[in-house]
Chain A
């Protein structure tokens, strides 16, 4: 049950993350201003972290 709650929360974060990326792409297409390289790496790192967390919780948790 707890595992389900954690995974659901992280999947919700993933959905928000997807919406954020969608909005950022839209803003970039509209303004032609790119997201700074440092923040592109932070965004990619956050995505990998969330996905890794989901895999960890699904595989290791009781």
Chain B
């Protein structure tokens, strides 16, 4: 195994060691992942492009529409640029922290989507595997770019009586790992055994 792979495994183990959730009795955390970093990178690039476009428009106005009020004053243009950069900086910090403190967690009893970056406190979407029967698990890329980068969503389908909509892991870091773990859980549940870490 490469050094990069060891480093990645070490990073994943550290996430599992953090008390992101409080597992119940006889419940073990098997996997914790964030969304793939491409989610944050694409959002950041989009915001950067918008900010650069607005600054370029400001530059255009400064040179070609310099007779127009109130843009005839250079200080006003500098002020507008400062406001644009400030809005962009707050926006990108918000985007990063939203991505950084959002987790997909798989335990031997449940699958959880946890948002920790919230003013009102953490919010979790929890599906208890013991109460719902998993009918199918599949992976599919959400768009062409993710397909090209081999980034996939994981859809967990339940019996319609239990839950009509699938539980979706949206672009997790390692969709294969999540699918494998949930697949093992389903098999273990059918055999009446437990999957332990």
B167 close to chain A: CB less than 8 A? no
Shortest CB-to-CB span from A17 to chain B, Å, is 6
Q: Dominant SS at the A interface?
A: helix
A7 to B92, CA, bound (A): 21
| Smallest Cβ-Cβ distance to A16: which chain B residue | B90
**B: number of interface residues (CB 8 Å):** 30
* Residue with the highest number of chain B CB atoms closer than 10 Å, among A3, A31, A60: A31
The answer to whether A26 and B119 touch across the interface, beta carbons within 8 angstroms, is yes
A residues apposed to B, CB below 8 Å: 2-3, 6, 9-10, 13, 16-17, 19-20, 22-24, 26-27, 30-33, 35-36, 39, 42-43, 46, 49-50, 53, 56-57, 60-62
B residues apposed to A, CB below 8 Å: 15, 18-20, 70, 73, 75-76, 78-80, 82-83, 85-87, 89-90, 93-94, 96-97, 100-101, 116-119, 121-122
Kindly list the 4 A-B residue pairs having the minimum CB-CB distance in the complex, ordered from nearest. A27-B116, A46-B89, A53-B82, A27-B101
7 pairs from A and B in contact (CB 8 Å cutoff): A20-B97, A23-B97, A23-B119, A24-B101, A31-B20, A53-B83, A61-B76
